[in-house]
Structure 1
């Protein structure tokens, strides 16, 4: 009798397990997080979502956002939508929302009080169209950083710079020691991003705002912007011989001491972490190039395409809620190197560089990311120009500035 009872209980337990498995909803999530640090971060999302009884189906797309976004958009508009998809904060999904292809998250956001916890509020504003919320912001990524290899500067016999002028002055010593002063991959968004950081650091926030927010063509053509272009023309001499394509390959040049520095967003921290390097010991970081300490509020948000499946729609809302929950915000952002969008989480485990970013954020020294102010078309034009400018010495600073000013004057 006991044997029969054990078998019966075992059968019931197995049946319950199978029933639970059958009820698990698969949710394909597309994103472009494929580097070592990024993969470690996205695994935190997957682990938390799987713990709800649902199943994260990873849809990583190799390459940058510029490669992944057209694929994502094509699937959504072509009738093959995923469960959730990454975009950057800003206007990248605007047309998809206007076409009625994205889930409205307003009810969930109001129920959970997203407006009360998301900081700065501009991140949720970027998810909002006509008063309705269509995405969940998950992090703050700022472009405004210069990452420095202590090993490279020690090998070159010079002090680690504390600002951009000292970095420029140290470049000849780095070159003499066989180092690449400035690592940069051969992708359009890297060239454009580095130029944007130089603009903020050397031109100032007011100049950046006139150009990127007000679309002031005269400011883009003016003498203050000429100083920025001249500085960028000098800097392009420092990036020669990088001979890498992807941003994380350029970061690796810094990690291994082959390059002195890299202008890159704080997602680079994930790569330093995976390599076992410690901020303040193995590498240094200069927000705002050590000149204008500011955090730009770029980063990532997730949208949820409309699906004709009530169970998957339910899973979408569960995932959206989970991404903004306190423990997931902490675990994900510590791995990603980004700042959390919640202002009420404990980040005692943050490293020195993340603490610098948190202090700047707390002081309110922030500006929007270019993706929040410029259309994808304008952004694409600037990226094309910067690709040419950084790779071709025959394009003078004056010629590049004239083309840039025309793009800004006609920006939408």
Structure 2
């Protein structure tokens, strides 16, 4: 069994006791609102006498941070906490290097504050080893309100028949219909929303999460690939290799109509002084209104030596799941709190819709992990899945049957 202790509960109950510890945190939140939120967390830790040691790693979308983390853990000198997501949490826990947070979780009733599908991602063999700090909705479709109006599109499309009709009008009006950046994670972000919209939540779970070979080779998957290729026809020639935020800028600046992207895109609109419901719209990707694909940032807690370090780590876990931090952090990041009982009064209209749908889908069983963003599959399977879809997107000579075969082959990596 991995290391079990009651430090989290003790840290909570004895937070005012004499003695302070240092908490070292590995993350890759190094710019904008994320960095400001980290700074606030430092202040909150300092208020209890604990010192913060920043272990930030730039670049690679977190990949560089994972390399640095591996080096530190192998050297027997892990940080107190590290920003880790999805199945990677269980991989680290399986190495017996994570701390058990059950005492804290039971005292704070985390099982009642988190949807089961997210709570399970924070656990290893039934015990908490990580803390979620936010929820990003991935299956969003963003639109420039002025572009849609000029093109004669009355509202955001609710299915793909409506989407392609709207895209034709936008293109005819002289705009880019779909702003997209040609990177494999962006390609799969669109693809998983298409699969969900074409075939529904149960199929999404069966094919993309469970990697069922029959589903991966099915007529429904074929239809999803055909829709994906049709969407590509509405992108512009400068799309390959473009960063996601540069594509968002095309929508913001009235050069493009739509973008498939998670709610981190909202931060770009807000930073440009635009208002949801007026300058831009946020709606579920076509056909996905009754489902929610999530991307959750979370911190795994590593085993530490020394009572003061353990106490500081326990208090960090307490703060991360606390209402104050989750509100402040998510107001800046564009996401919503992972807690289910939060007051959303300070959040914008898109976040309020996201929160309502988050609760509804968690109750309906249609709250689903994003494959594109590392929430559903182990790294090797995820990489192979993204590569197959990206090749299909990028190379028009790649056939649907060839891609179906590659997707089926991914099932062997599970």
Give the shorter-chain TM-score range.
0.7 to 0.9
Q: Specify whether residues 158 and 213 from structure 1 end up closer, same or farther in structure 2 by C-alpha distance, changes over 3 A only.
A: closer
Which residue is equivalent to 1:136? 131
Point out the more displaced range, 320-329 or 174-183. Answer: 174-183
Q: 1:197 aligns with which of 184, 193, 196?
A: 193
Secondary structure in structure 1 of the residue aligned to 2:357: helix
Cα distance, 1:136 vs. partner? Answer: 0.6
Judge conservation of contact 2:330–2:336 (CA < 8 Å) in 1: yes
Secondary structure in structure 2 of the residue aligned to 1:260: strand
Cα distance, 1:310 vs. partner? Answer: 3.5
Q: 1:31 aligns with which of 27, 33, 37?
A: 27
Point out the more displaced range, 242-251 or 225-234. Answer: 242-251
* CA-to-aligned-CA distance 1:103-149 (integer Å, 9 cap, x gap): 2212222222222222x022221121123211011122221111111
Judge conservation of contact 2:340–2:359 (CA < 8 Å) in 1: no
Which residue is equivalent to 2:299? 302
- Structure 2 unaligned blocks of 5 or more: 1-18
Which residue is equivalent to 1:380? 383
CA distance in 1, matches of 2:49, 2:239: 46
Q: Are 2:111 and 1:115 equivalent residues in the alignment?
A: yes
Which residue is equivalent to 1:151? 146
CA distance in 1, matches of 2:189, 2:82: 23
* CA-to-aligned-CA distance 1:133-167 (integer Å, 9 cap, x gap): 11011122221111111233345454443334333
CA distance in 1, matches of 2:249, 2:47: 34
Q: Specify whether residues 116 and 171 from structure 1 end up closer, same or farther in structure 2 by C-alpha distance, changes over 3 A only.
A: closer
CA distance in 2, matches of 1:219, 1:196: 14
Cα distance, 1:231 vs. partner? Answer: 0.2
Calculate the aligned-residue CA RMSD, in Å: 2.5
CA distance in 1, matches of 2:49, 2:198: 50
Cα distance, 1:54 vs. partner? Answer: 3.1
Which residue is equivalent to 2:205? 209
The TM-score with structure 2 as length reference comes to 0.85
CA distance in 2, matches of 1:339, 1:87: 18
CA distance in 2, matches of 1:178, 1:197: 26
CA distance in 1, matches of 2:79, 2:296: 21
CA distance in 1, matches of 2:251, 2:47: 37
Cα distance, 1:217 vs. partner? Answer: 0.8
Judge conservation of contact 2:24–2:52 (CA < 8 Å) in 1: yes
CA distance in 2, matches of 1:344, 1:237: 42
Which residue is equivalent to 2:12? none
Q: Specify whether residues 291 and 193 from structure 1 end up closer, same or farther in structure 2 by C-alpha distance, changes over 3 A only.
A: closer
- 1:10-409 equivalence runs, <5 A: 25-34=21-30, 36-58=32-54, 59-88=56-85, 90-118=86-114, 120-156=115-151, 158-163=153-158, 164-240=160-236, 241-242=238-239, 245-289=242-286, 291-363=288-360, 364-365=363-364, 366-369=366-369, 370=371, 371-408=374-411
Secondary structure in structure 2 of the residue aligned to 1:64: helix
The TM-score with structure 1 as length reference comes to 0.85
- Structure 1 unaligned blocks of 5 or more: 1-22
Judge conservation of contact 1:374–1:411 (CA < 8 Å) in 2: no
CA distance in 1, matches of 2:71, 2:150: 49
Answer with 1 or 2: which has the greater Rg.
1
Cα distance, 1:243 vs. partner? Answer: 5.0
Judge conservation of contact 1:29–1:82 (CA < 8 Å) in 2: yes
Judge conservation of contact 1:32–1:63 (CA < 8 Å) in 2: no
CA distance in 2, matches of 1:54, 1:260: 48
Judge conservation of contact 1:244–1:250 (CA < 8 Å) in 2: no
Cα distance, 1:244 vs. partner? Answer: 5.2
CA distance in 2, matches of 1:293, 1:238: 26
Cα distance, 1:200 vs. partner? Answer: 0.6
Cα distance, 1:282 vs. partner? Answer: 1.2
Cα distance, 1:296 vs. partner? Answer: 2.3
Q: Specify whether residues 66 and 348 from structure 1 end up closer, same or farther in structure 2 by C-alpha distance, changes over 3 A only.
A: same
